[in-house]
Structure 1
């Protein structure tokens, strides 16, 4: 039996990555180690993360009619992602992200939306044709919020699960968007932005999740990095551990988590096991440099999980 497909609606960027000894302070100039251009964007990263785990994947978004756009489409196609309804926008350049990564694996990112910033309801019309038979629609916040909301509405009308990664962080998520979300996956900082207070203890993490559920979200997953995460559903709430790995680069770890989560759900795994897949994919992504280049394939993920179970 073939698996249901997953649709990703979001950003497609070229990441311009500088490796530095440490992250620069305001006004400071540092000499870095190296520079590279790497396909990225939270939407594209999540699409690749899912496709690498052998789940049929459709990507909807925009690129510019430029060299970066051509390279980005080729990269997605090589990952076996369906790209036919990605629009090549002649009026603007492709989106880019300027990323600095230090020797500890921490990063800072500046995103220039360009084509991603022009995504609108006409893109949602192309998206809608792919919702029939889909398991989930994945959304992020690197495209205009009006398009995110319209896509979520289209998915709900089609009975498709909506998974929203509220990144980049923002405190003004429209209140009418929350009831459209089946699974909300903020990291610690994004959750703090959404609820308006620090979540510095387990009790405050749980309180934040409750507040987000009261706004209409069915399930809240708060990603806590090396501390693991917290999941609150309508029926239960639980913390789940992180996998201990030697991290060298945290870029795309959150995208890997969302990809692992969505892939597991599409494969029919229960939610608790899907959390484990997400945590494992996120951990593995930190052990390699880059965004999409760090995302694990299915064999690597399964082997890693088996090794953890046997310890």
Structure 2
């Protein structure tokens, strides 16, 4: 009986002869998802890095829309793990599986599986994704329970690493509501500055974050944003870089808080025991007004935090100093 490794070498040789060397000379290749759709009509976008020496995916930024009982979610190395495995149904292919325990609420992992029609080290410039319904191979669900399957799309070889870009998270204050709000979106910021959303003014405070889609490295995480519904007496926003906390808000307060985005910007989480930030980053603190209208404020200044605490707001965060996120340090 011919072994899988022998078949793999044979098909790799065929791919080389038919399609040329492709990306075979590079230790790391970058693959972008194109036109990937799910059985519920949602889409999957993003890219991943594959190391042909390690035969493993080493970095990824894969974003899925919400649907079929699943929240929108961005898989990155800091909130998920990646494994590669051969397909029991297709000897010429293997799939990458991204698994996020926090994204599933800790008890059952959220799982995304993507399988191109070739082994990763044999893919030509572009490869169609195989349509094998999840959970057998291709799609997304909770653990081994299929929620939706991939029904179309391609992997395309790209030459460059996904870009890294910084942006300011700018803070606003509404005196009438005694509410704070922050945004990185240029259109939203302009609407606040010009009075389209009446009553808001800049506080003068901001901190540096990474734009949505920046290459994640090992520490960057997407920040989800929820909107507290006026029907629940809220009319406020909430932000978190914790995939678990993002899941918990929907799970326990989903009738009062509605998710607006799984990724408004990217930032790091501190060590959840010590509160320490990665090198080159500074602590972001979160305080809560402890009122029924449930507003939070985010800042990097301990002086500002002390002022808020004196006004009755309470700390929320990790470690003895209650750090909630880690922003980019400004020289």
Return the TM-score normalized by structure 1.
Answer: 0.24
Higher relative contact order (CA 8 A, sep 6+): 1
Higher helix share: 1
Name whichever structure is richer in strand by fraction.
2
- Asked which structure has the greater CA Rg, the reply is 2
